Amino acid sequence: MNTLRLAVRCLFATALLGWLAVYPTVGAETDLSAGSPRKSPDWLRRAVVYEIFPRDFSPAGDLPSVTARLDELKDLGVDILALMPIHPLGEKAKKGTLGSPYCVRDFYGVNPAYGTTNDLKQLVAEAHRRGLKVTLDIVAGHTSWDSVLMAHPEFYRKDASGRINPPNPDWTDVAELNYGNPELRQYMIEMMKYWVRDFGVDGFRCDLAYTVPVDFWEAARAELEKLNPQIIIIADAGARPALLSKAFDMDYSGNLYTTLNQVIGSVSPATLVQDSWEHTQQQFPKGTLHLRYTDHHNETRAVARYGLDGALAAQALILTLDGVPLFYNGMEAGDATESADPALFEKMPVFWHSGGRPPLRDIYRDLIKLRQQHAALVNDDVVWLPNTAPEEVITFLRRDANEEFLVLINLSSRRVAASVTVPEAGGFEPVKIAGRAAPVDIVLPDFHLGGYGWFIYHRTVPK
């Protein structure tokens, strides 16, 4: 292994340790990389997820305001609307002015600031009418300190002195639940069934899924599939193959997210992206689905971390790589409003009409359409290609028996002229993307890219 590659591996290990600090391992997990993931619905592999924080999605901050924008979301091309928690929030020990949506007082209720149960039913019905699916965010590991479940202190984990504690010392606004109690397990399963049966929701994102025993999730799935065999269950977790063996359809690709922060932040070379991807391939069985993201409610907005051009390049990667892409709350408008702390505890609405932005909605719409119209972009086949600017540029093929896509992405702010090693470079034509200039004076395998520049090429495979 040469010196550069060794340095990259060391940097990758550093990035991975940082990611594991966010998603700490709970106990040892058996290596399941040679096994098989559960069979998820075929349509899910082609889907695009859009996460919505109702409080900040509009000035009103309610569910009817989400319903009012369904046509825009459908036009963008998304398939799944992932609502962040919609339940009433706790007041006791809450953080900030309004409190975190993950500090739930009643799992059976709808936050009155968001509207009524009828508003939620209307949102789900209107989404379904447009061919969209809706998932709820379930916070199964903890509750607020004034939760209705506090009437059952046996539902909570206690220390040696009999005191209820938060699951993490920093999470002072929540109390940890005890899944050693069978009555709690049944309560939580019945609650999830309620939202599927009475509201028609299509599934759940399970917050901090790794903090709850896997066998609970497997039991919950078995019950939910009796109501909806096509139920979607997404694990807010990473690097835990056991979760995806029976219980979950996909997890979060936190490893890749951390890697992009390292690379676009100029801490690590672009080769780290391939290393990260290959590391995940080694961890999980072939065919495992991962939710790919660059923007998220727990993180500073991508346009703030990467700049507009960097954020666009990163999302172009997400939309051309394998896995399921995620958009977050106004991302298509280039919203740079605060996210994570303090935004989780206050009201900071999306600014939908930011000036000085490229036509992000048009660009993302075309990229989503491209992905959904071509099977080569939604299968598992990613072929990483060497290039002569490995510090800055990633190059890869997406392909099937009928066609090939060549993707070139500069993850640095520097202009780059390079060459890619691609078998028989002839026949590739640039893909037209709305709002993006076509490549000029490029004759593959040679290419040049501006800072955070990217191009996608396509060719048909001869029969």
CATH number at residue 173: 3.20.20.80
Please report which confidence band the pLDDT of residue 247 belongs to, taking 50, 70 and 90 as the band edges. very high
For residue 411, pLDDT beyond 80: yes
pLDDT at residue 341 above 80?
yes
DSSP percent split of the chain into helix, strand, coil, nearest 5: 35, 20, 45
What span, in angstroms and rounded, lies between the C-alpha atoms of 413 and 12?
21
Determine how β-strand 133-138 pairs with β-strand 203-206: parallel
pLDDT, average across residues 280-297: 95
Residue 430 and residue 354 share a domain: no
Question: Tokens representing 338?
Answer: 């605060």
Q: Where are the beta strands (DSSP E) in 353-415?
A: 382-384, 393-399, 403-410
pLDDT of residue 34: 53
Instruction: Say if CB 270 and CB 263 are below 8 A apart.
Output: yes
Q: What is the pLDDT of residue 21?
A: 39
pLDDT value of position 31: 52
Report whether pLDDT(15) > 70.
no
Torsion (CA) 54, 60, 66, 72 in degrees, nearest 10: -120
222 and 371 part of one domain? yes
134 and 7 together in one domain: yes
What contacts 21, CB < 8 A, 6 or more positions away?
none
| Residue 418: band (very low, low, confident or very high) from pLDDT cuts 50, 70, 90 | very high
Residue 112: name the closest of 62, 158, 161 by CA: 62
Domain that holds residue 112: 3-380
Q: 330 and 428, same structural domain?
A: no
Of 333, 353, 380, which one is at a domain's C-terminal end? 380
What pLDDT does residue 415 have?
98
Backbone phi and psi for residue 347, each to the nearest 5 degrees, phi listed first: -110, 115
Structure tokens at 146: 């004034």
Check pLDDT > 70 for residue 64.
yes
Residues 6+ apart with CB under 8 A from 206: 138, 140, 212, 217, 233, 234, 235, 236, 248
In this structure, are 422 and 358 located in the same domain?
Answer: no
Q: Based on the domain organization, do 295 and 397 belong to the same domain?
A: no
- 460 pLDDT more than 60: yes
- Mean pLDDT for 297-304 is 94
Mean model confidence pLDDT for the chain: 92
In one-letter notation, the amino acid at residue 371 is R
85 & 53 share domain: yes
Torsion of CA 452, 266, 4, 276, to 10 degrees: -80
* N-terminal to C-terminal alpha carbon distance within the chain: 39
Average pLDDT over residues 180-194: 98
46 contacts: CB under 8 Å, gap ≥ 6 = 79, 371, 372, 378
Where is pLDDT greater, at 1 or 400? 400
CATH code at position 437? 2.60.40.1180
Of 380, 395, 415, the last residue of a domain is 380
- Residue 1, pLDDT score: 38
In the chain, how many domains are there? 2
Closest CA to 135 of 23, 249, 59, 39: 249
| Minimum mean pLDDT range among 45-59, 86-100, 322-336, 345-359 | 345-359
Listed residues 347, 380, 413: the one ending a domain: 380
| Position 75, amino acid | D
Structure tokens at 345: 């505890």
81 SS3 class = strand
CA distances from 264 to 11, 169, 199, 404, 409 (A): 14, 32, 42, 27, 11
Per DSSP bridges, beta strands 232-235 and 446-449 are unpaired
Cα atoms found within 13 Å of the Cα of residue 381, Cβ hemisphere only = 14
Give the pair of three-digit tokens for residue 39. 């069979």
Q: Distance between CA 318 and CA 349 in Å, rounded?
A: 25
What length is written for the chain?
Answer: 463
Q: Are residues 393 and 345 in the same domain?
A: no
Residue indicated by tokens 């922060």: 261
Beta-ladder partners of 290: 251
Helices 117-129, 182-199: inter-axial angle, 10-degree rounding: 60
Write down the pLDDT at residue 355: 80
Which amino acid is it at 412? S
Do residues 20 and 72 share a domain? yes
Residue pair 423/404 in contact by the 8 Å Cβ criterion? no
Same domain flag for 228 and 205: yes
Q: Band of the pLDDT at 68, cuts 50, 70, 90?
A: very high
Residue 17 pLDDT more than 90?
no
Can you tell me the mean pLDDT for 242-251?
A: 96
Closest-CA residue to 54 (of 122, 113, 128): 113
HSE at residue 264, side-chain half, CA atoms within 13 A, is: 28
88: which DSSP letter? P
> Do residues 398 and 363 share a domain?
no
pLDDT at residue 90, rounded to an integer? 98
Specify whether the CB–CB gap between 337 and 330 falls below 8 A. Answer: yes
Give the pLDDT band (50/70/90) at residue 80.
very high
Give residue 33's pLDDT band: very low, low, confident or very high (50, 70, 90). low
216 shares its domain with 178: yes
Residue 24 has pLDDT above 70, yes or no: no
Residue 462 and residue 431 in contact, taking contact as beta carbons nearer than 8 Å: no
pLDDT tens track for 117-153:
999 999 999 999 999 999 999 999 999 999 999 999 9
Residue 462 has pLDDT above 90, yes or no: no
Q: Is residue 57 pLDDT above 50, yes or no?
A: yes
The alpha carbons of the chain give a radius of gyration, in whole angstroms, of 22
Query: Any idea what DSSP says for residue 293?
Result: -
Residue 395's pLDDT band (cuts 50, 70, 90): very high
Q: Scan for tokens 């900030």, then name that residue.
A: 96
